[in-house]
Each structure stands twice: as C-alpha cells, then as structure tokens.
Amino acid sequence: MRSGTTVADLKQSFLDTLFCTLGRVPSAATPHDLYTALALSIRDRVLKQGVQTLETYHARDVRMVAYLSAEYLPGPHLANNLLNLGIWDQARQAVEEPGCDLDFLRQQEEEPGLGNGGLGRLASCFMDSMATLELPAVGYGLRYEFGIFDQAIRDGWQVEITDKWLRFGNPWEVVRPELTFEVKLGGYTEAWTDEQGRYRVRWIPQHVVQGIAYDTPILGYHVNTCNRMRLWKAEAVESFDFAAFNHGDYYRAVHDKMFSENITKVLYPNDEVIQGKNLRLEQQYFLVTCSLQDMLRVHRLLGRPLEKFHEKWAVQLNDTHPSIAIAELMRLLVDEYLLDWDTAWHVTRHTFAYTNHTLLPEALEKWPVAMLGALLPRHLEIIYEINRRFLGEVRAQFPGDEARVARMSLIDETGERYIRMAHVATVGSHHVNGVARLHSDLLKQTVLRDFAELWPEKFCNVTNGVTPRRFMAVANPPLAQLITRRIGDGWLKNLDELRRLESLADDAAFRQEWREVKLAAKRQLARCIAQHTGVTVDPTSLFDIQAKRIHEYKRQHLNALHILTLYLRLKRDPQADLPARTFIFAGKAAPGYFMAKLIIKLINSIADVVNRDPVVRDRLKVVFFPDFNVKNGQRICPAADLSEQISTAGKEASGTGNMKFALDGALTIGTLDGANIEIREEVGVFHARAKWPTSRLTDAGPMVPDGQPRRDPGVACSRLVRQRGSHLV
C-alpha cells in the first residue's frame, strides 16, 4: 500500500519507487537513487495527510495563518518525517532487508540552504510547531536555486562555494504549475476617473515575470495535521523569443528568461552595489505579491467578500523583508478589486502583524525613494498616501511636535530620501512584537519608541523558541530515549513535562547514564572533526562551543582572546590547574563582511599555533568546524559541555542557538542579553568559581522549559552560568 506503514508496506513501496519511478535496481542504484526512492515513499504517506488536512480546513472554514518569510532553514526532511509519522524503526527494517542502511541514506539528503541562520531556522521551527499544535498555516517563501553558500576554509580564510542543493532535484517538493501569478516590475502609472466617478490608477509595467508555486509538506508530530511551505520560483512569461532568434539575435531570444529567473537565483545577493540592492527589493516584492495573490485566490474561491479578508487570513511578517506587503495588499484591494481606500486600509491593518528581529540600524531596511519608485512606482504613491494620512494622525495626537512627525514619518528626509520599511510595517500592522522580553522592551524604548507612545496596545513580546523534535529526538536520540524511559514521551509536545527530571537530579544512576550519553555525542563529534578538519580532539575534554553566524556583536573575537589568555597562562605555568578544553567554533561570515571573515582567519591562526604547541597540546585545542548548517548543527549541539552566548548586551535580539545547546544539556556561558535572561530566570543561576572540579562542569543538571502559552515551548536548559566577565575561567 502506498500509504501503509508496516515494514512490508514500506519495503514494497521503497522497491516499487526504485523500479518504477527511478528505473533502477538495487544493485545498480547510486546512494542518491536509494535515498530518493525512500524519500518519495515517505512523501506519499505525508502527502496523504496533507490532502486530508486541506479537506478538514475547507470543511471547517478555518482562519489561516500565512507566515511570510524571506528565509527558511528546514533542515533535512527525511528523519523529521520518520519521527513525526512514528515509523522510524519500521523504515530502518524496511530498507535493511534489501541491504541498505537508513543512517547512510539519511546522509545523502541535500539540505535546503534557504536562509542565513537563526531567522530562517526560527521560521521552520514555527512551521513545525504550528503543524504539531494543529494550527492551520501556510509558510510562504522563495525557492532560491542557489541557497546560502557552502563554506570551505583555505589557509584559514573562508571561501564561498556555490550551494547547488537542487542539482539532484528535491523529492520533497511538488510543483504546482497551475498556481502561477503575474509579477509587474518597473514602468509607470496612469491615473483616470472611471464611469462611476472613482479615482483609478493603472500600473503600466516595464517587465512582467511570473511566479510558480512549489509545495513542501510540513507534518506535525504524531498528529494528523500536515501544513505546507509554499515557495515561489520566478520564470519568464515567454521563455524564448523566436522572432529575435530568427533574426540571429540569440542573446535577445533568451534575455527575458535570464532576467526573470535571476530573481530567485540566489539567496540574498550582495547588496553593496546598486544591482544587488535592486535585486533584493525585487525578491521581496516577488515574494509578497505571489503570496497575497494566492491568498486572494483562495478567498474568492470560498466565495468570501474581500471586505472580510482579514477574518480569513492572519499574515505574519517575519522581520522587515516582506514589509512591502503592506503597500501591495493596498494596491491589490484598491486598484485590482476596487475597494475604497478606508475599507482597504481597515482590512490591511487587521490582516498583518509584524515581528521585528533586530535593533541594529543597518538591519532595519531602508530603500532609496528613487530606487523603489523606479521598480515599484505604484507602491511609492501608496506609501506616500499612507504617510500623509498617518502623519495627520500623529499631528492630531501631538500638536506642534514636528520633530516627532519627522522621526515617525515613513520617509527619512535627513539626507538622501529613504523609505523606512520598519515604519511601514509598524503602521500597517495591528500588532508588533519583539523576540525576547529585553528586546521587546528596548524596541519600545529606542527604535520604535514614538510608535509605542502612540499605540502602546499594539506592542507585545513573543520570545523565540526551538522545536525539541528536531534538536533532541532527531539530533540526539540517546538523550531523548533516556528522558523518555524516565518520564514518558509527553515532553516532546510539552516541554513542561521536563520539570519531572528535577526529581532525578540526585539519582546517581540517572546522572551516570546522562554522562554516558554526553560522552557518546562528544565521541561522534570528535570523529566528524577529524574527518572534516584533520584535527584530533579528546572527547573527555570540555567541549566549549560557539556556533552561530560570525558577527562583531556576537563576539567570537572575545572568545578568541580568552583562548589566548588560557594559552599564555599554560605557557607560563604548564602545571596550572586548568581542565583540558576543546574550543569549537562554527559559523559563516557574510561574503561582503570583511571583519567577520577576518575573525574566522584569527580563530584559525590561533588554532594553528595552539594545536602545534607540545606544551599545551593535551590541555587546549581549537577547532573551526566548516559549513555550519542544520545538519552539522545536529552533530554539534548534542556534544556541547559549554555553550558560548556572549553577545554585546542589547545587541542579540533573542538567540535560538542558546536554546538548542541548552536543550541538549550544555551549560550556558552568557551575557545578560536576549533570551539568555529568560532562560536564566527560569532555570536559576550556577555561580562559577575560579577552580571548579571538572566533574561538576560536565554534570548536566535538570532541564526545564519556558512554558509560554499557546506556543510549542522550546526554551529549556540545564544550568546557566553567570560570572563577572564573559567566560568561565
């Protein structure tokens, strides 16, 4: 049966897919053929639940969450779907009988690198959690042909390698060629008055491309709900100009195809040059217009009036990247569907909610007025009109305060004129949230202070979280199994259950099993380190890990200075009472961020000195693990004894790496920043002394959650270390 989950059903489906879909026999199949056959077999079972879910949503006429995100980092799908279906053991046996190994097949899966880091992984955690909580949701994004680059280290420097994640296809996605939407770019507008005396505007574009939907099913854990991630690919309306070809102009014959497909060619082009900025704006508009047109299509199919669009759809803007959606929904409602302005604005403001992820000025997007006007002329007009009406509201509330008006304007006119996209998102949304309590407070006190004074009821906090399924059950099966043996498996859907581990804190047998699980994870990571870097590390040493995007405010360079401090201390006194420690770094630097690349070079240069020195070789090791992504993160997080979360206070909005390491039993060394504060308040403080027994440092204590209501609670940890500086020494 194509939907059966017995060993016999899975085995037959695996072989049928290999023979009939891929045209292979096991003896001649490549490892990727075998993986693809298994993936397609599992996808059949997932899609069955997806169809049933859509039927249920339609029958119950539910309100849908539409998550708009420029980034997703779902990680490998196979293991997650096996876990969620509850057929891990059956699948293992089903492929073993034909002579295959499930763990080997899992390693053949290409990871969709559709994001840079925490933002994209958070989006995927939300999708996982909404499906598990059985919340009706769709995640909209872009199907980048080339995702975030693969990272190699050469002579200590980061080298970017093209991420060709689609070179063998993607067995988890289903193309929907019937779901194609027109996307206009450039050109000019024409205004007129129609027969009913209504003011109308027509957008005459310079270019038109089309967006085609690709759906990936997102299955909940041990529930019948399967939502979808819908990614848009850009294509030309006409991919080949025969007239130009017949005149011998081959370049012009394929120009439209190249121009159109360039929009979803690569994740986040380098925006240091004007062409890169323009392409990034094209990507953001392409995402939101395809997504909103799709929502409006569904809304009209259901026969609902457009005046009630917001009663059917709750659209969440994941950071400022999709904030042009505010102007786009207004354009669609006013220009295409002829709603009056006030009605359209009411619908728009009640449709959108905005998540702000940063206080860093350089990350709060601003688009030059001239650029936005050239690419999206109608949207510039709409933003001007929104701004005119909004500033009238500000002046009425704060008469005579023109400085406030200038600060709150959607247009920055202090120099070259810019559109402030965070302001657009704030004005056009009914709720604005930060991603940790401190960050939300700072948001109201700094960059959006004026808006919080105008609309205090609009602002709230939603602290980030991570899914325990991906980062414990999939990444760290021995730890998950240990916990389940002691307290049952309810914690995988409700982390409040982990409080029951507190009663085992003094259970010697449990602590011993915990240590054995941790040591096994460290041995596995040590083997990966040797394989990828050639560096041999001692699994019994403290694994002190800092794995995250390389950035000055995340302070990998401070960690590097600490390593030099320990190195010089050991050089002066080789008998110093310091536990053996292995420092492990992982993370990518943005291609155009020279200082971040220099930090990577610094770390590797320190490693070159420290690892070669016979005086400290058995006491101190430094490793830079290349190409940090979800798959490698699943190897790294379970092995951490110490988790470095040392951002400059006030700079890290929340963090999710801190949660992943904490879930897997690492002690957190952290500044009081972002979600570190809430983790610390929840689990308590472990005060470090200058000389603390190694056994106490590696003995992970009980883990407890944050217990946020109506969310899949995902913030949990063992102990949080607080000390006067930034490091445990």
C-alpha 129/C-alpha 244 separation (Å) is 51
List residues bridging with 230 in a β-sheet. Answer: 140, 215
Closest CA to 675 of 470, 494, 445, 435: 435
Given a contact cutoff of 8 angstroms between Cβ atoms, the answer to whether 714 and 467 are in contact is yes
Residue 472, Cβ density class (10 Å: 0-12 exposed, 13-18 middle, ≥19 buried): buried
C-alpha 161/C-alpha 152 separation (Å) is 7
Phi, psi of 539 (to 5 degrees): -65, -20
Catalytic site residue 265?
no
Within 10 Å of residue 90's Cβ, how many Cβ atoms? Answer: 19
DSSP single-letter state for residue 117: S
* Pairing of the two strands 542-547 and 642-645: parallel
Closest CA to 234 of 304, 191, 289, 298: 289
Number of Cα atoms under 13 Å in the Cβ half of residue 68: 32
Please tell me which residue in 366, 458, 469, 549 is annotated as part of the active site. Answer: 549
Q: Which amino acid is at 65?
A: V
Question: Cα-Cα-Cα-Cα dihedral of 122, 126, 128, 129, to 10°?
Answer: 130
> Please, what is the angle between helix 7-16 and helix 31-60, to 10°?
110
* Pairing of the two strands 620-625 and 685-687: unpaired
Q: SS3 of 670, please? A: strand
Cα-based angle 66, 72, 73 (whole degrees, multiple of 5): 145
Catalytic site residue 680?
no
C-alpha 266/C-alpha 280 separation (Å) is 10
C-alpha 127/C-alpha 130 separation (Å) is 5
Please tell me which residue in 45, 143, 331, 357 is annotated as part of the active site. Answer: 357
C-alpha 485/C-alpha 488 separation (Å) is 6
Please tell me which residue in 77, 299, 548, 722 is annotated as part of the active site. Answer: 548
Given a contact cutoff of 8 angstroms between Cβ atoms, the answer to whether 580 and 540 are in contact is yes
H or E stretch covering 84: helix 77-85
Given a contact cutoff of 8 angstroms between Cβ atoms, the answer to whether 234 and 257 are in contact is no
Residues recorded for the chain:
729
Catalytic site residue 357?
yes
Residue 303, Cβ density class (10 Å: 0-12 exposed, 13-18 middle, ≥19 buried): exposed
DSSP single-letter state for residue 319: S
C-alpha 227/C-alpha 136 separation (Å) is 7
Please tell me which residue in 554, 635, 680, 727 is annotated as part of the active site. Answer: 554
Catalytic site residue 548?
yes
C-alpha 362/C-alpha 381 separation (Å) is 25
Q: SS3 of 544, please? A: strand
Cβ-based neighbours of 662, under 8 Å, separated by 6 or more:
643, 668, 679, 683, 703, 715, 716, 717, 718, 720
Q: How far is CA 409 from CA 386, 442, 715, in A?
A: 10, 20, 37
C-alpha 562/C-alpha 542 separation (Å) is 15
Catalytic site residue 493?
no
Catalytic site residue 176?
no
Please tell me which residue in 463, 467, 656, 671 is annotated as part of the active site. Answer: 656
Phi, psi of 723 (to 5 degrees): -150, 170
Please tell me which residue in 312, 439, 555, 660 is annotated as part of the active site. Answer: 660
Beta strands in 127-173 (DSSP E): 137-142, 150-154, 157-161
**Catalytic residues, which ones?**
357, 548-549, 554, 656, 660
